[in-house]
Amino acid sequence: MSGGGLLSGVNSLLVQAIFAAVLGMFQFGFNTGVINSPQVRIEFYFRTVCVFSLLIFSFQDVIKDFITESYRDRGNDLSSGTVSFLFSLAVSAALVSLL
């Protein structure tokens, strides 16, 4: 064995691998901190949107019937495609207003 010093088995590839592993751990820690800091707001948003979506889609037929009857009471007749479009527009506007 020649030059039996402490760094005799260290080459540039090993140093690069260690540097990449350490840098990856810093990146993982940073991403974990960034994602977890607004966790309460993200959970609230998804709970609100999911509950609202379940509520809307469970009453989908009732809302579509309400749209149809409202237009029919005013003397207009709507096709099913128009009713579906108005329903999707109302749901989209309601979901955007939650933001």
Backbone angles phi, psi at 8, to 5 degrees: -70, -30
Residue 1 has pLDDT above 50, yes or no: no
Residue 7 has pLDDT above 70, yes or no: no
Is the pTM above the cut of 0.75? no
Q: Where are the domains of the chain?
A: 1-37, 38-99
Q: Tens digits of per-residue pLDDT, 64-85? A: 888 888 888 888 888 888 888 8
Round to whole Å and give the CA distance between 45 and 39: 10
Round to whole Å and give the CA distance between 64 and 84: 7
Q: Tens digits of per-residue pLDDT, 31-62? A: 676 666 666 776 777 777 777 777 777 777 88
Classify 76 as helix, strand or coil.
Answer: coil
Residue 11 has pLDDT above 50, yes or no: yes
